Structure 1
């Protein structure tokens, strides 16, 4: 091998260094001992694991499943984090164990039939979401071109069926008041945790520097803290576990985080960073400070599509007194609070703490743990709802609406889940962005943001309905003002004579005799109304050439009972157009005419008369008289 390295080591005529001798890639599946089938996984999150496929039933399936898994999780595959490799492994073993339960299982992949796949998809011992997830994973694993010849075509076709994704059972997010109370509680408890650990760290520092200057009580505590800081061992006590456990937790919590500290920390991190719980669990230790103003780190964001699971972010640090309000400041605080436990367990993720190890048979410094390096599912032990209910000042949900005459129900504790917290912060950001989903989407696409978070969120729906209502009121008010200005310019608006029908009645209503006769005979009719003097536009004095829609603002406009069916038909057509074009365009083009008909004309007729006309077949709206139908929706 050439010894030349670095920049300038290659140029025209000087080839790049290459390994000496032929190169052989390591096998996808290795066999250390005859009969074993091992697949080594090394993820892009720097986590490793070895999966043994020889432990699965149906030996004829083991080589195929090992190869499909290796291709799925290898360097060219899509499952490149430890958690995703676990999901692929669970799908493979769930599949082969199901086949093993059949009365006549397929001994090899070549024996697989459509009926076998259908039976797996239709089984009743799993939820619809679990079946959907496993079928999707198996379809992806078995679709690799290297495996195409190893499964019958009918089996491939059965896996490629249209999978119906079950509806997410989301409870929606929190109300604005609930989210504010949750944020305040998480921030208050996190501040208390920081004060506790920093206070004991300060005592430990003073003990090491000048123990003689401490009181006897502080010196005794300092000695105990120094012993725990040196080797990470939390002393045990005599007695039963019910007596020992609370004492050990209280002692350990003087210098280390414990399980009970995790809930407020993780919740506050989710709220401040606006990231989901899985991303917070996997926050890395590795980061870069940018002029002490921001911190740069790489996050893991699952389910973003092929090879898009990592994202580099820059978080503001802010002043020290605002560290609980800025994402960068809170991240650095987390690193500070977990530094000792991370050192003892050599963690690469930010979250590490002390846990009592009697259930896992671990003692000493091994009780320091980074749980999410092993499995994200360990987060269920955080018991976030229990934290909220057991605080000195419990977190309570908004009371449901009281039924009339009934006693108000007692307050209920606030139920806390990762999905509800994420939904709430996404809804809050969407409101701040004015409801524009593409701008609101941060760690998801706009489609995922709506379908998985905002769609089921009742406060967001209420807010959106309120915003839409306010926008419609503003649009209608603007149209009414435009109509009023046009009426002022054009001679006072239409003359409506709802009870007049004959020429004599129209003449008695104030019209000249000649105009009354022509109006009664229909000789003055236009598209939807009648025009008293077409040759003299009130605004210009010249013959009128305006659109028939402008008639509704004109002083020459005449309306009688005979025009009512055409006006109702026009309103119906305008309502149909409103669903086929944007609100802005509709209000600009038709809004002022719609307001004039609704406010200045129909109000002059009785509701009973309008209802009678609506019960009859209405004439054509004749909108083609005012626009080309092929140019406008």
Structure 2
């Protein structure tokens, strides 16, 4: 089968078939030592073999081998080497746990719910580890062909709902992001100047050797030989010969120490996670000198959804460190010589001092992420940030308050010394960079998740990147607080505008009889009708229903508009209805959006709380609240089809 990739099939081009006599390899085979072995072949062509025979509890080996084969095999959900390694590690923890239990289940048929519960609650593991292990073993034993091999109560114990531990990695603050970006950009600029200066010296020596500065002629000759052969010469042995050899190679090639600032800046500018950046391809297409198009890998999207076509802006040459396309092309320029020597198709290729590993000459050029993404040597972004001439610092911790005694003097617990405000070095990880840039982009777009989602769905963006980020939560709380304040102010303005046109309600808190109402300034007939309840409406009373203050015609407004009307009368007898209305409005506030509630009910709520209840004493209001309140009668102002 030689045809592969997109376009290998189509009308008249059937899919490739294996040769005659082909037999698929068995999912479980017998290893050299006699144990059962499961082979893995990932979608990225990374391979591994797992020897189940090395695990304890021999009676479990057939089931464990079959479960692992179904999980990481061709039809399984695990398609990456890192995922297969994780499944194998969890299986190992399960087998070693069973070997220590009393009584030990020698075969799967002896497994009980108590064993599964003990595995989930084992104290030596962190809550996140126990949660992940339970989920993984549930998936490994989920196949229909394996269910009958485990007792029903044990299967139920695996399948029960598990409380997810609360753990997440937050991002960086705006200040930390700015400092990290500035440091990564400055160091990347130095790397670019260094390698371009070396290339310029090689070109000058090749084209016009006599014009080379005599003080740099020896270096130019050495660099020209390195450019032609790809080999960095061995230097005379000394205490620092390894460092000097790395410095010599760094004139033309990237080295290990260059990876940290380059990858940090790539993560900041492209807003992609570390796995995607490690597998950036060298193959690309330039679109009208404005953008670069390439196919990137995002493994966490699941099987058959790994690949995505990304289009990155190039920008002007003097801004190549600020645009994703410009930085990507710059990376290809810096790694061109090493990539040509090692023959890799990935963007990250560089030179390493291979004397300790036995590599010499051209073999010292390699692509670190071709075989494995979790490189053992480590990129060391935190070390780079802490050891550069101007370290990248985190935000200083908040100063602790100094405890003082009653006399105002510092007590013995604090010794009068304020807490240290020295900022620690910034811990730099891909996860925190991704969280920080996603949170920053969301804030810039006003919190609109569908527009903010870039390489994830809106749901994943919120759950995994925004929700754990403390800075985003604080920003969201500020936005909500400001929005609520604006909505409340709009309701106050609407109430005041209506009162200015129609007049302010008349509140008579201390009167109950017609004579008292007359003394308060009301006409005798109006006072009598008010005392007898003849003027009552839904929650207040109306002095002149037939003459609206603005129109002079009979009133046709909603009862909620009574609180902004000069004809409105409020007495002590109306307090129970008003308090019932406020409670009903509070219930509606829980069922509606804040914006809709403030627009519909805010002006009335402001009028009752600020202009009416304030005229009664708190003791009088509390006394009424202690009695059963009447029906709020809110349906009088609501059409049934408009009720939320």
2:282 pairs with one of 268, 277, 285: 285
Shift of 1:380: 7.7
Shift of 1:169: 4.2
Match of 1:483 in 2: 495
Matched residues, number: 622
User: Secondary structure, in 3 states, of the residue corresponding to 2:172?
Assistant: coil
Shift of 1:246: 2.9
TM-score by length of 2: 0.87
Q: Check the 8 A contact 1:9/1:16 in 2, yes or no.
A: no
User: Secondary structure, in 3 states, of the residue corresponding to 1:427?
Assistant: helix
1:351 pairs with one of 348, 352, 369: 348
Q: Check the 8 A contact 2:279/2:346 in 1, yes or no.
A: yes
Change in Cα spacing, 1:264 to 1:16, as seen in structure 2 (3 Å) is: closer
User: Secondary structure, in 3 states, of the residue corresponding to 1:312?
Assistant: strand
Is 1:413 matched with 2:412?
Answer: no
Q: Check the 8 A contact 1:168/1:452 in 2, yes or no.
A: no
- What is the rounded CA distance, in whole Å, between the counterparts of 2:19 and 2:350 in structure 1? 47
Change in Cα spacing, 1:48 to 1:184, as seen in structure 2 (3 Å) is: same
Match of 1:461 in 2: 473
1:202-601 pair list within 5 angstroms:
202-229=200-227, 230-233=229-232, 235-240=234-239, 243-357=240-354, 360-378=357-375, 381-403=378-400, 406=418, 409-489=421-501, 491-601=502-612
Shift of 1:147: 3.6
| Structure 1 unmatched ranges of 5 or more | none
Shift of 1:220: 1.3
Shift of 1:556: 0.8
- What is the rounded CA distance, in whole Å, between the counterparts of 1:526 and 1:269 in structure 2? 68
- What is the rounded CA distance, in whole Å, between the counterparts of 2:390 and 2:117 in structure 1? 53
Shift of 1:331: 1.6
- What is the rounded CA distance, in whole Å, between the counterparts of 1:396 and 1:96 in structure 2? 44
Change in Cα spacing, 1:352 to 1:109, as seen in structure 2 (3 Å) is: farther
Shift of 1:584: 2.8
Q: Deviations over 1:179-198 (max 9, x none)?
A: 22221221121111111112
- What is the rounded CA distance, in whole Å, between the counterparts of 1:381 and 1:137 in structure 2? 27
- What is the rounded CA distance, in whole Å, between the counterparts of 1:464 and 1:233 in structure 2? 54
- What is the rounded CA distance, in whole Å, between the counterparts of 2:172 and 2:16 in structure 1? 60
Q: Check the 8 A contact 1:317/1:329 in 2, yes or no.
A: yes
Shift of 1:524: 1.6
- What is the rounded CA distance, in whole Å, between the counterparts of 1:204 and 1:152 in structure 2? 73
Q: Check the 8 A contact 1:352/1:370 in 2, yes or no.
A: yes
Change in Cα spacing, 1:347 to 1:85, as seen in structure 2 (3 Å) is: farther
Change in Cα spacing, 1:133 to 1:374, as seen in structure 2 (3 Å) is: farther
- What is the rounded CA distance, in whole Å, between the counterparts of 1:121 and 1:359 in structure 2? 44
Match of 2:188 in 1: 190
Match of 1:166 in 2: 165
Match of 1:180 in 2: 178
Shift of 1:431: 1.1
- What is the rounded CA distance, in whole Å, between the counterparts of 2:18 and 2:463 in structure 1? 51
Match of 2:129 in 1: 130
- What is the rounded CA distance, in whole Å, between the counterparts of 1:514 and 1:60 in structure 2? 99
User: Secondary structure, in 3 states, of the residue corresponding to 2:299?
Assistant: coil
User: Secondary structure, in 3 states, of the residue corresponding to 2:295?
Assistant: strand
Q: How much is the aligned-residue C-alpha RMSD, in angstroms?
A: 3.2
Shift of 1:109: 4.3
Match of 1:95 in 2: 94
- What is the rounded CA distance, in whole Å, between the counterparts of 2:358 and 2:345 in structure 1? 23
Shift of 1:532: 0.2
Change in Cα spacing, 1:17 to 1:618, as seen in structure 2 (3 Å) is: closer
Stretch moving more, 30-39 or 540-549: 30-39
1:7-86 pair list within 5 angstroms:
9=12, 21=20, 24-31=23-30, 35=34, 37-86=36-85
Shift of 1:555: 1.7
Q: Check the 8 A contact 2:168/2:464 in 1, yes or no.
A: no
